[in-house]
Amino acid sequence: MPRKFDQEAKDRVVRLVEDRILAENISTQEACKIVAPTLGVSWHTARQWTQAARREGRVTERLPEDLVAEVAKLRRENQELRDTNELLKAASAFFVSELDPKRWK
Using a pLDDT cut of 70, give the percent of the chain over it.
90
* pTM for the structure as a whole: 0.56
Domain count, the chain: 2
73 and 58 part of one domain: no
| Domain extent for 1 | 1-62
5 and 52 part of one domain: yes
12 and 44 part of one domain: yes
25 and 1 part of one domain: yes
Tell me the per-residue pLDDT of 53-95, one tens digit each, with 9 for 90 and over: 999 888 766 666 777 788 889 999 999 999 999 999 999 988 8
- Buried residues in 51-86 as b, exposed as e (16+ CB within 10 A): eebeeeeebeeeeeeeeeeeeeeeeeeeeeeeeeee
**CATH label of the domain that carries residue 32:** 1.10.10.10
